[in-house]
Structure formats: structure tokens, C-alpha cells
Amino acid sequence: MIVLKSREEIDRMRDAGGMVAEILEILRERVAPGVTTAELDRIAEAECIRRKAKPAFKGYGGFPFTICSSPNEQVVHGFANEQPLREGDILSIDFGVIYKGFYGDAAVTLPVGYIDRDKQHLLRVTEESLQKAIAAAVVGGRLSDISHAVQSHAEKEGFSVVREFVGHGIGRQLHEAPQIPNFGPAGQGPRLKAGMTLAIEPMINAGGPGVKILKDGWTAVTLDGKASAHFEHTVAVTEAGPEILTLG
């Protein structure tokens, strides 16, 4: 069942989402060659504590970190570690909080110093795919319009869409119905209604779509070792159009 949120509930989700955006911005400013993902994880946790928010991922299904930090060929759910980031890497950071009973969830993929044109292209197209997906989150549309918006843009640019992980409803739970694949034909699935709150999150690969999970049981990497990018926002479907709740 898809839980619709009242205007007041969406206001509270905007508070949680705003914190997610602020903390991601703090992390963005810190990402540079030589910095470790363990440092970024500690900063994110401290910023949650300072705001009396709880990290959404730490402990979720046993996940051991505040942020999912996934460099280069890692797709999602990477573990923070003490290995310094290197010039030319890309780093996906997925981060969420729970605040006053509601979740916010967002992700960005950031360049570490100078990155080559292929990685710049991947980041740009993945972010554009998210923006096109958000634009499809309108009252009266269908859920798979969002999915189709991601796939059509990413594939037109020569990239491929990860199938194994999907976006999701969000609210009092981190993962609510519906699941939101990043692929498929438009015009299918539930009708979009005002009050739906959705975490839309394209995961786009530079090479083939295949992924596998490493022995840690969490880290998803591309099968071909090529780079992958991930952008995510928490979005409310409203009568006035889609509203991004994870803005600073």
C-alpha cells in the first residue's frame, strides 16, 4: 500500500530532507584527493548528532556506516574505509536521516579533483536522468513514467541502467511502497497522486548494466569494473507539481 502524506507530514519530511541536503553539502566541500571515506562518515555522523537527527542507514539491516560511500566501479552500499581518495576518482555518497519520525534520503556522485571527460559525462547524464525522472512525478501520471524517463535518457547517451536496485516510497519508513525501477516502458503501474513521497534514485553504469555484491555482503560493484554513478532526491508529488524535499 502506498501511504499518502498530509501537507503537515510533507512539511516534516522537508525538515528531514533539508538536513540531508545540508550535510551532503558539508561532505561535498570536504571531498578531495587524500581524504578518506571514513573521515567523511565520521563528519556525517557528527553533523547528525549536532542536529538531533539519527542516521537512517547505520544499523539498517546491519549496515555499519552513516553514509554509503561508493567510489568508481562501486554502484551503491559501499563501506567507508581509511583508503585515501585519489585525483580522478568519482565518489557516490548516499545519505539519509530520520528526524521527528520522518526519513529523508538523497545521494550525489562527486568528482575527486579533476576527472576525465568520460566521468564528467556519466555524472552529468545521471544527474539529468534524475531531473527528468522528477519532472515525470506529476499527479495523474503513472509510476513507470518515472522509470522510463531515467532509462530513455541514460541509454540515449550510451550508458546502461542498473536493474537490481530501485527507488522507493519513503516517509515514516525508509523503504515504503512503491518500488521505483529505473527502467521500463512509460504508462504503467499506479497512478501518481498528491501526497506520494518518493525516493527517486537512478544508478547508471558507464559500461554494461550487470552488478555483483562483494564478500562484505553489501558493496555492489559493476561486473565489468567500469564506473557507476548515483543521484537521488526525496520528492513529494503535489497538485502544484513535484517538490524536491532534499534541498538545502
Interface residue list for Mg ion (CB under 5 A): 105, 199
Nearer to Mg ion, 10 or 107 (CB): 107
Smallest distance, Å, CB 97 to Mg ion? 12
Least distance to Mg ion from the beta carbon of 199, Å?
A: 4
Name the minimum Å distance from CB 46 to Mg ion: 22
Q: Cis bond leading into 209, ω under 30°?
A: no
Rounded to whole angstroms, how far apart are CA atoms 49 and 32? 24
Residue nearest Mg ion, CB atom distance: 199
Question: Based on CB atoms, which residue is closest to Mg ion, 115 or 198?
Answer: 198
The neighbour count for residue 245, using CB atoms within 10 Å, is 28
Please say which residue, 97 or 199, places its beta carbon nearer to Mg ion.
Answer: 199
Burial of 169 (0-12, 13-18, 19+ CB in 10 A): buried
Between 80 and 115, name the residue whose CB sits nearer to Mg ion. 80
Q: What is the largest CA-CA distance in the chain?
A: 48
What's the closest the beta carbon of residue 82 comes to Mg ion, in angstroms?
Answer: 26
Q: How far is the CB of 164 from Mg ion (least distance, A)?
A: 14
Side chain identity at residue 173, one-letter code: Q
Contacts of 98 (CB under 8 A, 6+ apart): 16, 53, 54, 56, 174
- Closer by beta carbon to Mg ion, 24 or else 199: 199
For 8, phi then psi, to 5°, come to -65, -40
